[in-house]
Amino acid sequence: MKIKFVIVAVLVLVASACYAAPADYAVGTCLPKLHSYSTISAAVAAVPSGSIVEVCPGTYAEQVTISKPLTLEGITSDNSAQAIIAIPSGGLSGSGLVAQVTVTAGPVNITNITVDGTNNNLNGNATLAGIYYYPGSSGTIKFVTTQFQLNAGNGLGILANGGELTIENCSIHDFDFAGIEMNDYAPSIVNENYVNVASATGLVTGIIVENAGSFTGNTISGPGNSIDSQGIVVDSEGATVMNNTFTNWLYAIVDYAGAKYTANTIRNTGVGILLGASGATVDSNVITQAVFDGIEFGCSTNSAKGNTLNNMAVGIDGIPESVTSTNTYYNVQEVRNNCGAPTKAAPPMPLARVQPKSL
């Protein structure tokens, strides 16, 4: 029995030595018991991979590059829970694509951080991203705010060219190109975010999707149905867009790949859903108050059923004559308009630009 006890004890000690819990480090002075750094950049450069970097409330005027797996999280201290990454004095440096936070590794998880692009001084000469996940990177972004990524039509809140990425419960507002662009071709999750660009005066898009994944429960608000704008543009047949709310867009949903659109709520648009490719599934959506069309087929072959369409000029437009579409209509001037037939409503031309001008 003594020999067995010794063996077990040795095994426990060996296991403990092999396992090391992630160490915590601090940025700022609110956690005096932790090893602390004065800037986020210094911390993420110095700590070991897998560390947790806890950021005290305050404003950190710097460009940050994270090149190892770690967690960066803002914390609550002294009655505040806001850690802001702001523009350095003199503006941002770089050309082509310039990001306030660049992630080149994975997984890198970012929580409770505000990224503010005010006074970036790029003047439209580069693409501005609040947070940029580089090709090959991955991670989770939760409870993050990006704001004022304004750059002559080239500002994005979050740009992802990496691997698998989860974006949840974030607030993304006041950008002038796109709130979120998923450009990584790996399955991702974009759920329960608030995307608002009510102040835009030119072409703007809420979310751009070029990868498979789940896009669920987001609230996506635009500048109005008379401004060139798109709530979500989807160019991946593996995307599922479900239970989102779109308001105040010229186009709420634009599909170029034949993806799935289910149980979304769409209000005050020019066109509710534009289908630019065959194979899409459009089920159980509620579209209210469209100046032109509820669902525009563009003469492509798609499935649309169980949708509720209320208060618009044409319920379903440009639909091939052979396609059956069973929906519920209220206060619709023309329920169905087949492909090639004259229409009472002439929707504007589809919007084409889904990349910043400088990329």
Summarised one tens digit per residue, pLDDT across range 288-342 is 999 999 999 999 999 999 999 999 999 999 999 999 999 999 999 999 999 988 7
Mapping DSSP to helix (H, G, I), strand (E, B) and coil, where does residue 4 land?
helix
The pLDDT, as a whole number, for residue 358 is 62
Q: Which tens digit of pLDDT belongs to each residue from 127-144?
A: 999 999 999 999 999 999
Out of 11-15, 175-179, 304-308, least confident range = 11-15
CB atoms within 10 A of CB 243: 16
Q: Which of 158, 140, 157, 144 is nearest to 114 (CA)?
A: 144
Q: What is the mean pLDDT of residues 189-195?
A: 97
11 falls in which pLDDT band (50, 70, 90)?
very low
The pLDDT, as a whole number, for residue 346 is 62
The pLDDT, as a whole number, for residue 342 is 75
Best CATH choice for the domain 25-338 from the list 1.25.40, 3.40.50, 1.10.3470, 2.160.20: 2.160.20
Q: Which of 134, 194, 203, 198 is nearest to 165 (CA)?
A: 134
Q: Which tens digit of pLDDT belongs to each residue from 252-264?
A: 999 999 999 999 9
The pLDDT, as a whole number, for residue 73 is 98
Q: Cα dist. 309→83, 249, 326 in Å? A: 44, 16, 11
Q: Are 285 and 305 in contact (CB under 8 A)?
A: no
- The percentage of the chain sitting over the pLDDT mark of 70, rounded to a whole number, equals 89
Q: What is the mean pLDDT of residues 79-104?
A: 95
Buried b (16+ CB within 10 A) or exposed e, 144-176: bbbbbbbbbbbbbbbbbbbbbbbbbebbbbbbb
Give the DSSP letter of residue 158.
E
CB atoms within 10 A of CB 11: 10
Q: What is the mean pLDDT of residues 88-94?
A: 91
Does the structure show a pLDDT above 70 at 13? no
Out of 9-18, 75-84, 128-137, least confident range = 9-18
Q: Please measure the distance between the N-terminal and C-terminal CA atoms of the chain and give it in whole angstroms.
A: 70
> β-strand 108-111 against 194-196: which pairing, if any?
unpaired
- Whole-number average pLDDT of the chain: 90
162 falls in which pLDDT band (50, 70, 90)?
confident
Buried b (16+ CB within 10 A) or exposed e, 277-306: bbebebbebbbbbbbbbbbbbbebbbebee
Q: How far apart are CA 315 and CA 273, in angstroms?
A: 11
Give the DSSP letter of residue 271.
E
Does the structure show a pLDDT above 70 at 17? no
Q: What is the mean pLDDT of residues 195-219?
A: 94
Q: Are 52 and 23 in contact (CB under 8 A)?
A: yes
CB atoms within 10 A of CB 92: 18
**Amino acid letter, 82:** Q
Q: Are 315 and 307 in contact (CB under 8 A)?
A: no
The pLDDT, as a whole number, for residue 347 is 63
